[in-house]
Structure 1
């Protein structure tokens, strides 16, 4: 039964329908229409705080429109005559013509079905932040083209909770200050009372990797070296592929497996065999990663290897090529 409007017959004031009264104040003449399974409409008014509470014995005049659900989807040419509410000029002749079938009529949704599905609607679009994961999901929902991954943790300071939100941006290692500020402002609308939100850059772990490669006798070492440096770069390659250490290939908690590196190197034409001689955090010393076959990265950290001689602190990749010509 929609739309519906009410008029107070005592003072001729108009009352407007709303989906709910949550945003109504004590001066708003609002009401809510609630339908039952029998198709009967029940009107719910405010309590004096969320919408005005009507005085006792107030009389309303309702104006509304009704539909007939699926029965209203009549076929083409089904309407053959018209009945007018007022007297029509008898000197004119009208011939109704309905070339297309009626569409859009739907059956009312049973209340049992509403109760079954309604609780799940809140999961489709997050509109509040209670847990740490809620903050990370809100960042991903509102900044899908700028942030490829986000994590959040709750920390108790002794007097209140702080929510530390860590951001991993697209196409670059570090997130700019403007994006951090935009995310902080956005989360302010959804944060739980008592939570202080702190948005920060990810902690990058720079790597030190060394590789020995035996080159087949009929391949030039220089060509093989150039191909390996491309594959293990942080750039977009000429064919559109991303280098192994491109920022969009690595995110929070993603460790580096020795087998992955060997498999990538083995795809280069001219490579006969590969062995990894160093796999560790830069300047951290040997932590037995080669023996374990895996370099772990913490959940709030991201691996990084730029292999830029001008900025050696951002990771180093060393090649020792033997054989070939």
Structure 2
């Protein structure tokens, strides 16, 4: 209206411009010659009320400063900024933080208990809810290795990360403690042996950042010398406390809380079988029995290669109530694939050839070594569809003290219809219900064997 009494400073709205050049274009009015900037904002930010920029007042004068259009607003987040560096395991310098290594090559570092990690506010597109968007923390990571600094990226899980992806995941438990997990070289890149991880994160408690409009007036000028003034034109209300664990459990879909009591897919049959004590792995496939569909379920027992009648009955009892009507269930043992392997190694000059041969036989056996480790072909080390790569055998043999080099290695199926062999860069591939078998029993070579030829050495 142009009258001061009708002004309402609370009528404010944030507008997010379209990205890039689509958000703003400059021009010149051909009539007045005045310069102007035309702005375009997101459809989600459509104006909720009419704003008047020019009006004639009661005194007859025209005012053009009734509403303001402010640009270049900067979004800031509440929280104390923390910088921390984590060094490789074994670093003994006082006050230095270290990360830990897993047996699979993955790495994990723990944030301090007094550093509750803050998470970013979710920017939800139209039509989406919170569960549709992955949460993202305020943590960023820089990894230094070999004199090179490289930024790594946060993902919700490393399951979908490839072996060379510089990804990490953040896990925060119900007590507010956070861990940062790096990959193992298969799911996400593994940290190098000399890697130092530099973190920047914001810590605090979400609701502490909630503030009414125009309440933020002071700041640390020494830490921000480029700032002359600071204000918050909008209410800050999106600071949230971590969700209570009991509330989160109540909101989980019932299907994820309940134990599924039906087998619809082949994966369902296999999962149900693995719930039975004594079953290490299971694999299922469909066959056609002429007038109905049949599910062939192959069961890999724990610690043995024989499916006992007792275990078969237990699996049948567990799956009978779950199978679909019209499907027949047949429970079988795995299809064993015996291998014929020939290896020729060169022993070091100071090693007795006969002793080295005995050590190699033990390392590649289907039993347990003298120091309690599983032999290379122990039944619990192999499961359905698991391929054998020649490089795996090379690595196990080369790790044996006294082996100078592996001269030759051939691998083939003992029952193959043609005498094929796998060379150094090859592998033995298996069907979904097949498992490798190498018992090494000279009286039962049809159950897989290894011929070892040791050259060089003493005696």
Matched, 1:244 2:341: no
Matched, 1:176 2:312: no
Q: Which residue of 2 aligns with 1:258?
A: 390
Q: Which of the numbers 94, 117, 121 marks the counterpart of 2:257?
A: 121
Q: Which of the numbers 136, 141, 145 marks the counterpart of 2:275?
A: 141
Matches within 5 A, 1:197-276: 197-276=329-408
- CA distance in 2 between partners of 1:194 and 1:186 (Å): 18
Contact 1:258 1:276 in 2 (8 A): no
CA 1:276–1:149: 2 relative to 1, 3 Å: farther
- CA distance in 2 between partners of 1:266 and 1:205 (Å): 25
Q: Which residue of 1 aligns with 2:222?
A: none
Unaligned runs of 5+ in 1: 1-105
Contact 2:391 2:424 in 1 (8 A): no
- CA distance in 2 between partners of 1:252 and 1:108 (Å): 39
Structure whose residues are more often helix by fraction:
1
- CA distance in 2 between partners of 1:180 and 1:108 (Å): 40
Measured after TM superposition, the shift of residue 239 of structure 1 is 1.2
Contact 1:262 1:275 in 2 (8 A): no
- CA distance in 2 between partners of 1:157 and 1:189 (Å): 21
Q: Which residue of 1 aligns with 2:61?
A: none
- CA distance in 1 between partners of 2:395 and 2:251 (Å): 53
Contact 1:126 1:138 in 2 (8 A): no
> How many pairs were matched up?
214
The TM-score with structure 2 as length reference comes to 0.44
- CA distance in 1 between partners of 2:315 and 2:321 (Å): 11
Q: Which of the numbers 440, 451, 456 marks the counterpart of 1:307?
A: 440
- CA distance in 2 between partners of 1:203 and 1:107 (Å): 46
Unaligned runs of 5+ in 2: 1-243
Measured after TM superposition, the shift of residue 108 of structure 1 is 9.9
- CA distance in 2 between partners of 1:109 and 1:278 (Å): 59
- CA distance in 1 between partners of 2:369 and 2:319 (Å): 36
Determine which structure has greater relative contact order: mean sequence separation of CA pairs < 8 Å that are 6+ residues apart, divided by chain length: 1
Measured after TM superposition, the shift of residue 211 of structure 1 is 0.4
* 3-state SS of 1:211 partner: strand
Q: Which residue of 1 aligns with 2:174?
A: none
Q: Which residue of 1 aligns with 2:125?
A: none
The TM-score with structure 1 as length reference comes to 0.62
- CA distance in 2 between partners of 1:276 and 1:303 (Å): 21
Q: Deviating runs (4+, > 4 A) in structure 1? A: 106-110, 113-116
Measured after TM superposition, the shift of residue 115 of structure 1 is 6.7
